[in-house]
Amino acid sequence: MHIQFAELPVFDQDRAIAFYVDNLGCEVAADAPMGADGWRWVEVKFPGARTALHFLRRPDDKPSAEPVLVLVEADVAGTIERLRAKGVEIITEPGEAPWQPGRVVAEFRDSEGNRMVVGSH
């Protein structure tokens, strides 16, 4: 058993696709019409992942106050610097996670206002 997809709220599907492909190396796994209003079924995946991120229509324009996903990356500081260089909003700088000594974490916000954590293994 595995998780097929996790839902990620977005305002603009094309902008979100560009963010996840250009900044995080994701691949578009699905992009198909869904309904009469122009909203599409969009999924992106990290290379080699079984679980996709499905872009769900965001119900309001409030950025998420709490993290919505935790991404695992060996080089947290390098990832944060790459994102910063591309103009991505960095919320917290890399530092030791208070809940898990020895683990480095940082936070950023995606193009759709989602607060994300990137943490070491």
What are the pLDDT digits (tens) for 3-43?
999 999 999 999 999 999 999 999 999 999 998 899 999 99
Q: Is the domain of 49 the same as that of 7?
A: yes
pLDDT of the residue at 66 = 94
Note whether 44 and 27 are within 8 A (CB): yes
69 and 121 in a single domain? The answer is yes
- In whole numbers, what is the pLDDT of the chain averaged over residues? 96
pLDDT at 35: 82
Selected residue with higher pLDDT from 94 and 36:
94
Model pLDDT, residue 85: 98
pLDDT given for residue 17 in this prediction: 98
Pair 52, 21 in one domain: yes
Quick one: 30 and 66 in the same domain? Answer: no
| Secondary-structure percent of the chain, ordered helix, strand, coil, rounded to 5 | 20, 45, 35
pLDDT at residue 72 is higher than 90:
yes
Predicted TM-score (pTM) of the model is 0.93
- Report how many domains make up the chain: 2
Same domain, 43 and 97: no
Query: Given this model, what pLDDT does residue 31 score?
Result: 98
The whole-angstrom separation of Cα 53 and Cα 32 is 14
Asked if 1 and 41 sit in the same domain, the reply is: yes
pLDDT at residue number 61: 83
